[in-house]
């Protein structure tokens, strides 16, 4: 069910307990992005994250308990709407995937030209093309 929630198939409003899906979000999003988005600097576990966020946002139940379900819904909505940056490397991705750098692609026989000065033998090169 968590995958369908994170993909946006299931609407967050219809979830009975949104807190059960937060561990998956915390695993997928880098901590620095969560800190930037919610200004919660540190947490021990997903429940601690939700409690700190609820206190920070003023989402409290009667008796001063943090409303973690409401805050979890907010986090899931941010996830579904793309407010939390997330990406994965393509499958079988390595740092040296066979694509050369610009230096490797340049012809080693030719010296780099100076674009500020006119090229020598331009007339000869134009005659060869024509």
pLDDT in tens, 68-122: 999 999 999 999 999 988 777 778 766 554 554 445 444 455 566 566 666 666 6
CA 117, CA 43: separation in Å to the nearest integer? 60
Q: What is the mean pLDDT of residues 18-34?
A: 92
Quick one: average pLDDT of 17-40?
92
* Rounded average pLDDT over 22-40: 92
Q: Is the pLDDT confidence value at 31 over 80?
A: yes
Secondary structure element (H or E) that encloses residue 97, with its range? none
Q: Of 66, 67, 20, which Cα lies nearest the Cα of 46? A: 20
Question: Is residue 66's pLDDT more than 50?
Answer: yes
pLDDT > 90 in the chain, percent:
48
Average pLDDT, the chain: 81
pLDDT at 129 over 90: no
* Cα-based torsion angle of the residue sequence 107, 108, 113, 119 in order, rounded to the nearest 10 degrees: -70
Residue 50, Cβ density class (10 Å: 0-12 exposed, 13-18 middle, ≥19 buried):
buried
The total of other beta-carbon atoms located within 10 Å of residue 71's CB is 24
pLDDT score for 105: 47
Higher pLDDT, 94 or 33: 33
């Amino acid at each position: 069910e968590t995958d369908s929630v994170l993909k946006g198939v299931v609407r967050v409003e219809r979830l009975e307990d949104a807190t059960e899906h937060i561990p998956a979000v915390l695993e997928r999003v880098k901590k620095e992005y969560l800190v930037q988005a919610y200004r919660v600097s540190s947490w021990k576990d997903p429940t601690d994250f939700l409690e700190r966020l609820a206190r920070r946002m003023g989402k409290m139940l009667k008796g001063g308990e943090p409303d973690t379900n409401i805050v979890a819904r907010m986090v899931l909505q941010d996830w579904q709407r793309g407010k939390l940056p997330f990406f994965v490397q393509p499958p079988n991705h390595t740092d040296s995937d066979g694509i050369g750098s610009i230096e490797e692609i340049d012809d080693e026989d030719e010296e780099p030209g100076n674009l500020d000065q006119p090229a020598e033998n331009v007339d000869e090169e134009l005659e060869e093309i024509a």
